[in-house]
Structure 1
Amino acid sequence: MAKKAEEVKPGAPAWTATFGDLMNLLLCFFVLLFSMSTMDAAKFEEVAASFSSAFGIFSGGEMAIGQGALIGDGVSQLTELSSYITSMGLAQSGDDSDSEEAAVGDMEQAELLEAAEEEQLEASQELAEQIEKALEEEQIQNDVDLNYTSQYVQLTIQGSILFDSGKTYLKEDAIPVIDKLGQVLETYAGGTIEIEGHTDNVPMTSGGKYSNNDELSSGRALSVFYYLVENTNLDPANLIHTGRGEYSPIADNSTDEGRARNRRVEIKIYNPLSSSY
């Protein structure tokens, strides 16, 4: 008996279905990649025009981009085209997003710093108004100059009120002023107080106790520090004394009036919002 012919099933082979599914997945994958990229439309049109010219669809391929940098060699230019699109699209999208995030971050940081600066300045202004009123009540407003920054309120006393020329001992006439000033500090200075001594640029005479203006300014700041520690309830741990010598003038040292202004003691009262409080 003759063998029965093997029945052939109609339709395409089974592997084609798997291959078709794989192609669909790859298509979806590349569509997703493309949708997440950002591509400059104008540059893409230029690339498309150059690419088309390379295959002879349009004329004038040499004049497209970079004097034929992407054209003229046909298929051999595909690698350069891919690199160009990558740098123009995906890479550019990443750079743009990073730069935008950095710009937004810098802007937010600048706004926060500006807001903090304004808040600190308001705190100093409020403290300055209170101290100014207290100086008027103590009737020493003519002996003490008041100024303020975002960090502190500054009280300046001329050296001629506090010391004799070339000396660091407080004058007898200065004691009432320092006593009243100490009461103001006890009331309104809850944190750091910095005492700075300043001089003019006239060299010290030979044979004196102090050989230069640095030592003189430090000695004067220290004299005020010692007096406040011994005669007030201020915490010595909050008091800083420094000598600045002739290096921070506020007036012209070439005139008598300017040198007199430069010989001074500054007391800086840091406000509660200051980093040095």
Structure 2
Amino acid sequence: MAKKKQEEAPKGSPAWMATFSDLMNLLLCFFVLLFSMSSVDAEKFAQVVASLQSSFSILPSGGSSIGEGQMISSGVSQLEMLDSYYHQMANSESDTDLEGTSGKSDTETDVAEEYKQEALNESEKMAEQIEDAVNQYGMQDQVEVDFNAEYVLLNLDGTLLFDSGKSELKSEAYAIMDKIGAILSGYSNNMIDIEGHTDNVPISAHAKYESNDVLSMYRALTVADYIRNTTQLDPAHIKSSGRGEYAPIADNSTPEGRARNRRVEIKIYNSYSSDLGE
């Protein structure tokens, strides 16, 4: 009896290998996707790879040292420590970042100091220009000029502008205010703040204004309105406020000190400090 011819095996790889290959490709794509969506630190990743290699005996036996003396050696049970180790390393890196932030703070401080110095330089230049104008108008005995990193200050003697207890400008004060307005017109892009100040002598019971606060407010408003009406300055750039007796520059216990405290201050803010709402 003739032997039955043995069936030849199908050519090519078995069918299950195609399915297995597809599964491996899908898993590879899945992990690549996870990797691309995560932020991986190269050094930590290398440490984890070394740990896994040692744990699964991919490399010759023996531990791989990570951190300061910590060993993740052979034995799959050690993998349970990877999560806590990773968080420990992350916390350590956060501390380092905080130390670096203090360095950035120092840099920011330097930038702030440089910014302040530039503002001060601008105020100084403005003050020199204004003082020259004051001298040209012959007002050096009527106006004091000072400056800081925010503004240039014009200090006007209140007795030259107002009678005692009143907020209406004296007739002889108009010439002073016209010259002040001419000076201020050169700073149309700057915020101008006008403050009224008084001494600490209480207002008379029969006076028009009930307190020094109210009197100082009206005096500042009078000066502000005069400048608005006699110059081309934007009225929105001019503010006024009353400070009453609460910001003295001299001793109120003497007549001379009280006279100095009765004043109107005009602050011309530099470009670094002017808030024009633009």
Using the size of structure 1 for normalisation, the TM-score is: 0.68
Letter in 1 for 2:269: Y
The alignment partner of 2:242 has SS state of strand
The offset of 1:272, in angstroms, is 1.8
What is aligned with 1:112? 111
What is aligned with 1:197? 196
Looking at structure 2, the residues matched to 114 and 235 of structure 1 have their Cα atoms a distance apart, in angstroms, of 32
What is aligned with 2:155? 156
- Pair 1:229 & 2:234 matched: no
- Pair 1:261 & 2:264 matched: no
Looking at structure 1, the residues matched to 220 and 149 of structure 2 have their Cα atoms a distance apart, in angstroms, of 23
The alignment partner of 2:172 has SS state of helix
Looking at structure 2, the residues matched to 234 and 275 of structure 1 have their Cα atoms a distance apart, in angstroms, of 14
Letter in 2 for 1:174: A
The answer as to whether partners of 1:189 and 1:270 remain within 8 angstroms in 2 is: no
Q: Any idea what the Cα deviations from partners look like across 1:156-185, whole Å, max 9, x if unmatched? A: 001111111111111122221111111111
Looking at structure 1, the residues matched to 93 and 224 of structure 2 have their Cα atoms a distance apart, in angstroms, of 59
Structure 1: tracts of 5 or more residues without a match = 1-35, 39-43, 49-78
Q: Any idea what the Cα deviations from partners look like across 1:24-72, whole Å, max 9, x if unmatched? A: xxxxxxxxxxxx799xxxxx88999xxxxxxxxxxxxxxxxxxxxxxxx
What is aligned with 1:95? 94
Looking at structure 1, the residues matched to 149 and 182 of structure 2 have their Cα atoms a distance apart, in angstroms, of 23
The answer as to whether partners of 1:189 and 1:269 remain within 8 angstroms in 2 is: no
Residue-pair matches, total: 249
What is aligned with 2:208? 209
What is aligned with 1:182? 181
Cα distance change of structure 1 residues 237 and 275 upon mapping to structure 2, 3 Å threshold: closer
Looking at structure 1, the residues matched to 69 and 93 of structure 2 have their Cα atoms a distance apart, in angstroms, of 21
The runs of at least 4 consecutive aligned structure 1 residues that moved more than 3 Å come to: 44-48, 81-89
The answer as to whether partners of 2:191 and 2:274 remain within 8 angstroms in 1 is: no
Using the size of structure 2 for normalisation, the TM-score is: 0.68
What is aligned with 2:51? none
Q: Which moved more, 1:163-172 or 1:205-214?
A: 163-172
What is aligned with 1:14? none
The answer as to whether partners of 1:152 and 1:271 remain within 8 angstroms in 2 is: yes
RMSD (CA atoms): 4.4
The alignment partner of 1:195 has SS state of strand
The offset of 1:83, in angstroms, is 10
The offset of 1:233, in angstroms, is 2.1
The offset of 1:216, in angstroms, is 0.3
What is aligned with 1:147? 146
Looking at structure 1, the residues matched to 202 and 208 of structure 2 have their Cα atoms a distance apart, in angstroms, of 13
Q: Any idea what the Cα deviations from partners look like across 1:201-238, whole Å, max 9, x if unmatched? A: 11100111101001100111111112212222222121
Looking at structure 2, the residues matched to 45 and 230 of structure 1 have their Cα atoms a distance apart, in angstroms, of 77
Cα distance change of structure 1 residues 100 and 206 upon mapping to structure 2, 3 Å threshold: same
Structure 2: tracts of 5 or more residues without a match = 1-40, 44-66, 72-79
The alignment partner of 1:172 has SS state of coil
Letter in 2 for 1:194: D
Identity %: 44
